[in-house]
Structure 1
Amino acid sequence: MRIAFAGTPEFARVALRQLLDAGFDVPLVLTQPDRPAGRGLKLQASAVKALAVERGLALAQPRSLRLDGKYPNDARAAREALEAAQLDAMVVAAYGLILPAWVLKLPVRGCLNIHASLLPRWRGAAPIHRAIEAGDTETGITIMQMDEGLDTGDMLLSERESIRSDDSTATLHDRLAALGGRLIVEALEAAACGGLVRRSQPAEGVTYAHKIDKAEAAIDWSRPAEEIERRVRAFDPFPGASFQQAGETVKLWRAAVAPQRGAPGTVLSAAEGLLRVACGDLSLDLLQLQRPGGRRVGARDFLALRSTLQVGATL
């Protein structure tokens, strides 16, 4: 089978590597244009582009695929490349561009999406983050036949993955990326011999995983401790849950619920390596923190640099 691949971040790179290692012919890779990154804001290639260059694959980086959009020349060039590739199917994983109807209809077997949830739960841009934030105990991967809706296409394959009590988006992402790579290979191998069964998504249980906004990072200490702790894990590595202290934005990367109570945002303990802050119901022990420009450190090291942080202070 001749497979085009469209994807951008590390999650997609894992799937592309699995397809290549399984022997699929990938005549064309689509990924987002290089973006400024880091302190110097130098243009940085996506994880998928890096692998495509390493493997010598043909690459396209259109800014849009809409023929009637802002970048019609990009879209026309991409269309010519896709048509020339004579595709059996197209695999899409965290690409970041909307696929118009002409793309969906072009491959013989259409476009297959690797989605990081058990559809129809958590359709949308941030399914891993939102599953952890909501306190879900399991998620998974769904291989979906794409249509013009937002993650509304028929399901082809799915497999469950438990969410551990200490999972962050980073750790869960890595397991789901590996699972997604394995399942897309299985799906395409089954499709090649007519063994894929399409199932409509159920109408019940639909939720939307809205894109993460940096404004969500600020911790609201009036919320329940368990809810804040989940959000800390959900926002690791991006955007990082944070609070203000001594005029700085401090990021909180790990926390644990504690039974002590107090006025929300009040420091209940700040000695002997224990930094405890009251929440809306119980409290949180802040276990791993990071100052601007610094590295992640434990509470003991953080407190050693914060001699003014005392019991009774308000964050």
Structure 2
Amino acid sequence: MIKLIFMGTPDFSARVLEGLLTSQDYQILAVVTQPDRAVGRKKEIKMTPVKELALAHNLPVYQPEKLSQSPELSELMQLGAQGIVTAAFGQFLPSTLLASVDFAVNVHASLLPKYRGGAPIHYALINGDEKAGVTIMEMVQEMDAGHMIASRSTAISDQDNVGTLFDRLALLGRDLLLEVLPAYVAGEIEAQPQDPNLVTFSPNISPAEERIDWTKTNRQVFNQIRGMYPWPVAHTYLKGQRFKIHKASLAEGEGQPGQILALTKKSLLVAAGQGALALELVQAAGKPKMTIADFLNGSGRDLAVGDFFDK
């Protein structure tokens, strides 16, 4: 039985940890995750999904704000772990920790060397990629730059968003890790270096990137909206107030960018730089998210054809 330290934070990581826990090949000595954070309007302190799963299995949990030079680091190095598995942990691993184990691998949600960084799933959707995937790679002292052990892809459809792709890639990563890790540990798989000429990055989405540019094509805006749903959510402005668009669909129509082209009790069509979008799930300032029909039946009743978003 291989003794492991697992490091991860969101649901993606929890699915990978869950897979390791179902296998008789591994013993999880400790779980390291980000500190509990205040979330939502009420700022309630919430445990990470990985911590919830770890506690449910009575596993020791470490939550250093910064692992490097922390008291937790020395404790982890004394556990006698043979290896480390990380998945969307959110911190760099100190070189001393990497040197203390026989191997350290990461489950990354992209087809490396494309999309190194913290938001690969978002960028795959925003950029309109035809496929996404996961890569199992060796951990090194550079972000997502380690040699690649294995990768697997999945097609992206127009019905996908960050949430659906996140869930699918988590299962894909879990299954791929369980499939290749025994052979890798046994020395039967030789990790391959990444081609530096093909490296691209996917940094965390900035607030400025959340704002919709209606001069872009309807396909580009559509990809941005689904590439930010269910988080962080794309937004525009309506009558000077922030207006979030959670879901929309491609539509035909011509007009000035951001202009309302058609309006009924149940539908609202907005022009893009090319083509149009039919809004489906929205959130006006100070309101909960709602269907476009509910919005038009409430605070959106004073809208008219010819009105503009983002003006």
Shared fold (TM-score greater than 0.5)? yes
- Which of residues 185, 200, 206 in structure 1 aligns to 2:193? 200
Q: TM-score normalized by structure 1?
A: 0.93
Tell me what 1:178 maps to.
171
* 1:148 has 2:133 as partner: no
Taking only the aligned residue pairs, the percentage that are identical comes to 35
Tell me what 1:40 maps to.
42
| Inter-partner Cα distance in structure 1 for 2:231 and 2:258 | 23
Q: How much has 1:301 moved relative to structure 2?
A: 2.3
Question: What code does the residue aligned with 2:21 have?
Answer: L
* 1:233 has 2:226 as partner: yes
Cα deviation per residue 1:128-173 (whole Å; 9 max; x = unaligned)? 0000000000011100001111211100011111111121000000
Tell me what 2:109 maps to.
116
Cα deviation per residue 1:108-127 (whole Å; 9 max; x = unaligned)? 12x10000011001111100
Unpaired runs of 5+ in structure 2? none
Cα deviation per residue 1:74-93 (whole Å; 9 max; x = unaligned)? x2x22222222111110011
Cα deviation per residue 1:44-70 (whole Å; 9 max; x = unaligned)? 111111111110001111111222xxx
- Which of residues 256, 260, 264 in structure 2 aligns to 1:263? 256
- Which of residues 97, 105, 108 in structure 2 aligns to 1:103? 97
Cα deviation per residue 1:258-281 (whole Å; 9 max; x = unaligned)? 221111111111114221111112
Tell me what 1:71 maps to.
none
* 1:9 has 2:3 as partner: no
| Inter-partner Cα distance in structure 1 for 2:290 and 2:68 | 46
| Inter-partner Cα distance in structure 2 for 1:58 and 1:287 | 44
Q: Is the 8 A contact 2:265 2:297 kept in 1?
A: no
Cα deviation per residue 1:195-241 (whole Å; 9 max; x = unaligned)? 22211112332111011112222211111111000000000011111
| Inter-partner Cα distance in structure 2 for 1:298 and 1:276 | 14
Q: How much has 1:247 moved relative to structure 2?
A: 4.5
| Inter-partner Cα distance in structure 2 for 1:41 and 1:256 | 33
* 1:49 has 2:42 as partner: no
Of residues 127-136 and 209-218 in structure 1, the stretch that sits farther from structure 2 once superposed is 209-218
| Inter-partner Cα distance in structure 1 for 2:254 and 2:100 | 60
| Inter-partner Cα distance in structure 1 for 2:135 and 2:237 | 39
Q: How much has 1:293 moved relative to structure 2?
A: 5.2
RMSD of aligned Cα (Å): 1.5
Q: How much has 1:181 moved relative to structure 2?
A: 1.1
| Inter-partner Cα distance in structure 2 for 1:298 and 1:79 | 48
Secondary structure of residue in 1 paired with 2:98:
helix
Tell me what 2:307 maps to.
313
| Inter-partner Cα distance in structure 1 for 2:184 and 2:147 | 14
Tell me what 1:243 maps to.
236
Unpaired runs of 5+ in structure 1? 68-74
Q: How many residues align?
A: 306
Secondary structure of residue in 2 paired with 1:95:
coil
Q: TM-score normalized by structure 2?
A: 0.94
| Inter-partner Cα distance in structure 2 for 1:17 and 1:293 | 38
* 1:85 has 2:101 as partner: no
Of residues 172-181 and 34-43 in structure 1, the stretch that sits farther from structure 2 once superposed is 34-43
